[in-house]
Structure 1
Amino acid sequence: MKIQFATASDYKYIVARDKHIVEALIRPKINEQEIFILRGDENQEIGWMRFGYFWDNTPFMNMLWLDEEYRGRGYGKQIVLHWEELMREKGFSVVMTSTQSNEEAQHFYRKLGYKDAGCLLQEADPLEIILTKSL
């Protein structure tokens, strides 16, 4: 598995799968190097990780996705650790993410050292758990 910043050639792959972002924001995030593409042995896209900045000063992982057939192989952990190292190199001491309370991802993040930091309750949605990790 390879981890690379997404490029314009990854746009169609991301648009077809990432339903949690306004399409008009994908190209700017690619240009700002805020989306990583995960590539398999055949150099094909197998997932992505997208991030931004909470309060414009704290790295926040917005989305981590692996295509179904590539889950459970440790690729998610690899991309999270890669991102954390990049954020550490940029001088950040804390990173954040979130997940809904009905999703298994909360356990994945806790195993990687993320701690519950609060929650957000929006009408008609499950509780959103906010998680942070000191780098």
Structure 2
Amino acid sequence: MSITIRFGSQLDSSDVFTGDQHVPEHILNWKLKNQEIILAKDDEDLIGYLRLEYLWSKYPYIGLIMVHPDYRGKGLGKRLLKYVEEHLKSKGLKTIYSSSQVNEADPQEWHRKMGFKECGIINGINEGKIGEVFFVKEL
């Protein structure tokens, strides 16, 4: 088992398009070209994924982080987060934002465990009028 964490490239587009169906392919292509998708691979298998966004084109935000169920609880999400944090620090950025639906206790617990602090809620923004809780972490 050889786990590698790295920025995605155009060569990864089929994995990315299959794994992240929340975003149109042309946007994912742009993100692949601009170092906004981080992949974790076990040899050739995609086992983790982080999609970076920028709120107001300025504030880095984790739009999506996923870890394959077989790899959860083994520190892979933490490694993906650390990778993106080091990249952002190298660009002089000081914070990263993320969020979770208000009814998702496990993701909220993960954020707090990773050092994120709650910083706000948008009520009723998701399907079914479920709110979204936002987190911030100092880099």
Q: Please, what TM-score do these two structures have when normalized by structure 2?
A: 0.89
Q: How far did residue 22 of structure 1 move?
A: 2.2
Deviation per residue, 1:30-77 (Å, 9 max, x gap): 01110011011x232212111021111111111111122221211001
The aligned amino acid for 1:108 is: W
Deviation per residue, 1:100-127 (Å, 9 max, x gap): 1122211101111101110112262421
Whether 1:130 aligns to 2:122 is no
Whether 1:50 aligns to 2:51 is yes
**1:1-135 correspondence to structure 2 within 5 Å:** 1-40=3-42, 42-103=43-104, 104-121=106-123, 122=125, 124-135=128-139
- The separation in 1 between residues aligned to 2:109 and 2:135, in whole angstroms, is 11
Q: How far did residue 5 of structure 1 move?
A: 0.8
Larger deviation: 113-122 or 18-27?
18-27
- The separation in 2 between residues aligned to 1:14 and 1:67, in whole angstroms, is 14
Indicate the SS of the match to 2:23: coil
Q: How far did residue 20 of structure 1 move?
A: 2.0
Determine if contact 2:48/2:76 at 8 Å carries over to the other structure: no
Displaced runs of 4 or more, over 2 A: none
The aligned amino acid for 1:21 is: V
Q: How far did residue 7 of structure 1 move?
A: 1.2
CA RMSD of aligned residues (A): 1.3
Determine if contact 2:118/2:133 at 8 Å carries over to the other structure: yes
- The separation in 2 between residues aligned to 1:125 and 1:76, in whole angstroms, is 28
What 5-or-longer segments of structure 1 have no aligned partner? none
- The separation in 2 between residues aligned to 1:30 and 1:71, in whole angstroms, is 24
